[in-house]
Amino acid sequence: MAKKVLVIGACGQIGTELTMRLREMYGAEQVIASDIREGNDQLMQSGPFEQLDAMNKEQVEDVCLHYEIDEVFLMAAMLSATGEKFPKKAWNLNMDSLMNVLDLGREGKVEKIFWPSSIAVFGPTTPKENTPQHTIMEPTTVYGISKQTGERWCEYYHNKYGVDVRSIRYPGLISWKTQPGGGTTDYAVDIFHQAISKGSYECFLKPDTALPMMYMEDAIRATVEIMNADPTSIKERSSYNLSGMSFTPEEIAQEIKKNLPEFSISYRPDFRQEIADSWPGSIDDQQARKDWNWEHKYALDSMVQEMLQQLKTD
* Contacts for 312 with CB less than 8 Å, ≥ 6 apart: 196
The answer to whether 142 contacts ligand AKB (rule: CB under 6 A) is no
Q: How far is the CB of 147 from ligand AKB (least distance, A)?
A: 8
Q: How many residues does the chain have?
A: 314
The answer to whether 281 contacts ligand AKB (rule: CB under 6 A) is no
The answer to whether 16 contacts ligand AKB (rule: CB under 6 A) is no
Structural contact between residues 170 and 185, judged by C-beta atoms closer than 8 angstroms: no
Binder to ligand AKB among 97, 118, 126, 131 (CB under 6 A)? 118
Which of the residues 67, 143, 157, 170 is marked catalytic? 143
- Angstrom CA distances, 176 to 141, 173, 217, 305, 310, stand at 27, 10, 10, 11, 7
Residues 70-109 that bind ligand AKB (CB under 6 A): 79-80
Residue 100 CB burial class (10 angstroms; 0-12, 13-18, ≥19): buried
Main-chain dihedrals φ then ψ at residue 64, nearest 5 degrees: -60, -45
Residues 150-189 that bind ligand AKB (CB under 6 A): 170, 172, 183-185
Among the residue ranges 116-124, 126-134, 196-204, 240-248, the one whose residues contact ligand AKB (CB under 6 A): 116-124
Cβ-based nearer residue to ligand AKB, 66 or 89: 89
Structural contact between residues 185 and 171, judged by C-beta atoms closer than 8 angstroms: yes
Q: How far is the CB of 1 from ligand AKB (least distance, A)?
A: 35
Count of Cβ atoms closer than 10 Å to residue 35 Cβ: 24
Among the residue ranges 47-55, 117-125, 158-166, 299-307, the one whose residues contact ligand AKB (CB under 6 A): 117-125
Cβ-based nearer residue to ligand AKB, 64 or 120: 120
Cβ-based nearer residue to ligand AKB, 63 or 119: 119
Q: Helix crossing, 87-106 with 57-66: angle to 10°?
A: 40
The answer to whether 213 contacts ligand AKB (rule: CB under 6 A) is no
Alpha helices in the chain (DSSP H): 13-26, 41-45, 57-66, 80-85, 87-106, 142-161, 187-197, 216-228, 249-259, 272-277, 286-292, 300-313
Is 67 one of the annotated active-site residues of the chain? Answer: no
The answer to whether 120 contacts ligand AKB (rule: CB under 6 A) is yes
* Separation CA 297–CA 121 (nearest Å): 24
Q: How far is the CB of 31 from ligand AKB (least distance, A)?
A: 24
Query: What does the binding site for ligand AKB look like in residue numbers (CB under 6 A)?
Result: 79-80, 118-120, 143, 170, 172, 183-185
Which residue numbers are catalytic? 143
